[in-house]
Amino acid sequence: MSSQFLSPCFSYKKSNLYIENLSVNEVAETVKTPFYLYSAAQIKANIAHLQSALSDVLPDDHYTVCYACKALNNVAIMRLIGQQGCGADIVSSGELTRASQAGIAHDKIVFSGVGKSREEIAHALQAGIRQINVESGAELKLIESVAQEMAMAAPVVFRLNPDVKAGAHEKISTGQKENKFGLEAKAIKDLYRYAEDSSHLTPRGISLHIGSQLIDMSPFDTAYKIAADFVTELRSAGHSPDTIDLGGGIGIIYDQEDKPDLSTYAALVAKHIAPLGLHMIFEPGRMIVGDAGLLISKVMYIKETDHKSFLILDAGMNDLLRPALYDSFHPIIALQTTENEEHRLFDIVGPVCESADVFGKNISLPRNITANSYVAITGAGAYGATMSSNYNARDITAEVLVSDSRFDIIRRPINIEDQLSFENTPEYLISG
């Protein structure tokens, strides 16, 4: 049994789904479902794959891979990724704390995002991160004033909005004029000059990030050409950038997609960007962790109606929001199945009180699947755990990391007692 969406660290041995050298069923018998399950080997393989494609065309000391930890920011996972030589792309003070705790060198951290607060900027400058990616003139002024108070010069790069359409869904497209992200070239030119004249700012170059889950590499071709031309313009205006941050966005196979070709991507970088002689930063998120994670869930009920057979899982949209938010599809497979087993179609849903709490319609699963069997929702490593919530006062699920034949709980569930411990009922409501 093999499916193109299952990455090499997941496979069926006899009738059981394995993650590396461990039976997933064995983990499911021990850890309360639902839970996220990650393969350390697959994460390492994904990083190695990217590094090898880039190293084929770029000298190793000309680029840094800064993992976009919004995709999955568990500290154990970030430590594993840091150990492979990656830095981090962060979008909040919280992610900076996580990166520090994971032992990621601060000079390999870049800070993205349109709404950084004064406290977050101070935290980043205090930590001595590599650069802050600036998204507006107002933000630049705030960074300057914080740096002045700290008697230092803040390293900044300016995020270019190249007005290129990219991304699998309009909600994950970021590089067009109507998006809130980035600055127009003309605005950057003015701000670059301003930063150069300030003793509390050090302008270092430009960044861009056009969208997420790109399968076709041609939007990178367009955007990187625009970025390269813009660097040339900055140089003609007398500036000396030393950095270009090329963002993330490379997609993964969720279902039937073609495999994004990393050598095509690297060739585009070599063609447009490498000749500029700048230090290059890459911010991949999804492609590092996406196919390395499963959401493991138990079948609670099988509900037959005149129209449908529903499989009601114990995982819901609060655990994995992507299908409800982006209509994305994550194939669902049984942990135990035999080669020629008969299948039938189910609508697979969660227990949350929302009609959007649906993981898939008309999904083929073994005909004889029963309550208490386990299923795996695939491709759940990126933007799964990090986007989960406690909606319906449900637990925030556990996360488990597998390496070879061992597994470790890297986050226990955040349960109702944990949640209530943050709340307070004023005395007058109790006594009155």
> For binding to ligand LLP (CB under 6 A), which residues are involved?
68, 71, 89, 112, 172, 174, 209, 212-213, 247-250, 283-287, 322, 326, 383
List Cβ neighbours of 75 (8 Å cut-off, separation of 6 or more): 98, 101, 102, 410
Residue nearer to ligand LLP on the CB measure, 317 or 365: 317
**Distance, C-alpha 144 to centroid of its chain:** 30
Least distance in angstroms from the C-beta of 86 to ligand LLP: 13
Q: Rounded distance, CA 301 to CA 318, Å? A: 19
CA distances from 76 to 69, 366, 387, 410 (A): 12, 35, 18, 7
Return the axis-axis angle of helices 118-127 and 137-149, rounded to nearest 10°. Answer: 60
- How far is the C-alpha of 69 from the C-alpha of 38, rounded, in Å? 15
**Catalytic residue at 69?**
no
User: What number of other Cβ atoms are within 10 A of residue 225's Cβ?
Assistant: 16
> Least distance to ligand LLP from the beta carbon of 245, Å?
8
* Calpha distance 314→31 (Å, rounded): 13
* Nearer residue to ligand LLP within complex by CB, 171 or 361: 171
339 in Cβ contact with 28 (< 8 Å): no
| Close Cβ partners of 29 (under 8 Å, ≥ 6 residues apart) | none
For ligand LLP, which is the closer residue by CB, 212 or 336? 212
Place of tokens 């792309």: 89
Pairwise CA distance, residues 91 & 292, whole Å: 22
**By C-beta, is 166 or 185 nearer to ligand LLP?**
166
Shorter beta-carbon distance to ligand LLP: residue 196 or 221: 221
Q: What angle do CA 320, 323, 325 make, to 5 degrees?
A: 95
Which two three-digit tokens encode residue 108? 């390999």
To ligand LLP, the closest distance from the beta carbon of 352 in angstroms equals 18
Place of tokens 């299948």: 343
Residue number with CB closer to ligand LLP (113 or 203): 113
Compute and round to an integer the Cα radius of gyration of the chain. 23
Exactly one of 9, 66, 86, 353 is catalytic; name it: 353
Distance of alpha carbon 6 from alpha carbon 290, whole angstroms = 11
Provide the annotated active-site residues: 353
